[in-house]
Chain A
Amino acid sequence: MTKIVLDNVSKAFGDNQVLDGVTLTVEPGESVAIIGQSGSGKSVMLKCILGLVQPDGGSIKIDGEEVIGLRGRELDRMRAKFGMLFQGSALFDSLPVWRNVTFALTQGRIVSARRMRKIAEENLERVGLDKSILDLKPSELSGGMQKRVALARAIAPRPEIIFFDEPTTGLDPIRADVINDLIVTLTEDIGITALTITHDMASARKIAHRVAMLYQGKIIWRGPRDRLYDSGNPYVDQFVQGRAEGPIR
């Protein structure tokens, strides 16, 4: 069964039509990257799937179940399938690293600190960090470490699907590649279904099986990653080559 199906999803904020009939499918274990200009609605699309933003129309199905309109426990049950790496990491400033990493398991309550620290340690190891940072606050970490802690938090509850919102933005090329490798490991080795938003073409080519481009609220092109630089679509060509001249103004 197809893991994620978006069918004709639309969303406007006032007069600004952010999503205008987005249609997209993601198969189980597949990694799809969404590329597009800033403000093209990529993050809104992810937030619609997660129920953080209510779409104006269309249908979003996860494992065949309609998720638009879900509330309360039903929404929580659906969200249990997801992990999300936010663009700015979105770690909780007031909590130490170990409580951030285990937040999905404790829902913020103090539950068996020793066991939770152990779980946090295991998940930090999976993203290449050691236990020396367990008690540090997020503000004491570098940007790259914060991303990795956020990734550890996203994978701690063993989600079936993981969303990456600009996972390499703000990182140097080496740190960015470390994150790319971690994403590839998660999707290839563990079989997590992944949907990634990115401006970073090197990252898109490395982590995604398929790439789709969102422009003016619509998916205007989709194809395998190898076709990204040979798409035959002038919008995609301009975007991936980073040219100021072209159909995108």
Chain B
Amino acid sequence: MTKFALRAIGRGLAPPYYPLRLLEQIALIGWFSLPVVGLTAIFTGAALAQQTFTAGSRFNATSTVPAIVVLGIVRELGPVLVGLMVAGRVSSAMAAELGTMRVTEQLDAMSTLRTDPYRYLIAPRLFAALITIPVLVLIANVIGIMGGYFLSVYKLDFNAVGYLKTTRHFLEAGDILMALIKSAVFGFFIALMGCYHGFQTSGGAAGVGRATTNAVVSTFVLILLSNLIITVIAFG
């Protein structure tokens, strides 16, 4: 798998380049993931605010709601939930598409037509995910914080200005940087697992099904494991 990743990156950095393929993948991964990412973020932010308020009210600490929502969303929930949601959408689609191309000999046909599948198919997906997932996470963070804000202000009777002030006070540039680092790593795993399992597919339709399942499961595990490692290194 390391060899596969290095080959895709190495060949992707050398000409010929396929900028249209890259843009197409950015649209597929980024633009079309926005609805699911937005919904996940707003509901999670709101639910986190409610849970924090309920727990905090037991020991008179309801004022921690804005701080916990912003740190919880930016440091953990934003990157992880976006990673998992996009993995479910994108890794599976990549594995299914490339797997079908493998079993129908389209990848062999591409090679015989002197086009390197690593450059034409794999590299644009890897680079598009590396670029797009951090942007999606930034958007999800904003939406998630707003989800917490709306629930806190309109249901829990928080002061709107005070809530935003506290949110700004607790949010540091380091937290955003950490979210971007995590999301770039997750993006890389999302595309790598989808492409790798799709590329290695064998065994017809059943093989495509296996590749899709393996891509999603391995991406989930890698996202959760790498999130833990990065969090422990950064905050441990």
Binding site for B on A (CB under 8 A): 47, 50-52, 76, 79-80, 82-84, 86-88, 90-93, 103-104, 107-110, 153, 157
Contact = CB atoms under 8 A, between A and B. Distances in A.
Contact of A79 (B101, B105, B114, B120): B114
Interface in B90-121: 100-101, 104-106, 108-115, 120
B18 interface: yes
Contacts of B120: 107-108
26 contacts: A47-B108, A50-B108, A50-B111, A52-B111, A82-B112, A84-B109, A86-B105, A86-B108, A86-B109, A88-B105, A90-B104, A90-B106, A91-B106, A92-B106, A92-B109, A104-B113, A107-B16, A107-B113, A107-B120, A108-B21, A108-B110, A108-B120, A109-B16, A109-B20, A110-B20, A153-B113
- Residues of B in contact with A, size category: 10 to 19
In terms of DSSP, what is the predominant structure of the interface of chain B?
Answer: helix
Interface string B8-22: 000000001010110
A87 B114 contact: no
Contacts of A51: 111
A227 B223 CA distance: 63
A99 to B, nearest CB: 11
Nearest to A103: B113
Contacts of A76: 114
Contacts of A87: 105
Contacts of B101: 92-93
A80 B105 contact: no
B125 to A, nearest CB: 13
Contacts of B20: 109-110
Nearest to B103: A88
A82 B111 CA distance: 11
Contact of A93 (B16, B106, B108, B114): B106
A107 B106 contact: no
A88 B102 CA distance: 12
Interface of B: 16, 18, 20-21, 100-101, 104-106, 108-115, 120
Nearest to A153: B113
A153 B115 CA distance: 14
B20 to A, nearest CB: 6
B18 A84 contact: no
A60 to B, nearest CB: 15
B108 A107 contact: no
Given A107-B16, A108-B120, A110-B20, A88 B104 contact: yes
Given A79-B112, A84-B112, A90 B16 contact: no
B201 to A, nearest CB: 15
Contacts of A80: 114
Given A107-B16, A108-B120, A109-B18, A52 B108 contact: yes
A157 B112 CA distance: 12
Contacts of A109: 16, 18, 20
B109 to A, nearest CB: 4
Contacts of A93: 100-101, 106
B115 A108 contact: yes
Nearest to A88: B104
Among B104, B111, B114, find the residue whose CB has the most chain A CB atoms closer than 10 A.
Answer: B114
Contact of A107 (B100, B104, B105, B115): B115
A219 B217 CA distance: 45
A218 B108 CA distance: 24
B143 to A, nearest CB: 31
B114 A104 contact: yes
Nearest to A156: B113
B9 to A, nearest CB: 17
Ranked 5 nearest A-B pairs via Cβ: A90-B109, A90-B105, A104-B113, A107-B115, A76-B114
A90 B106 CA distance: 5
A103 B101 CA distance: 16
B188 to A, nearest CB: 24
A107 B112 CA distance: 11
Contacts of B106: 90-93
A88 to B, nearest CB: 6
Nearest to A84: B112
Contacts of B16: 107, 109
A19 B16 CA distance: 35
A159 to B, nearest CB: 10
A107 B114 contact: yes
A79 B106 CA distance: 16
A145 B115 CA distance: 24
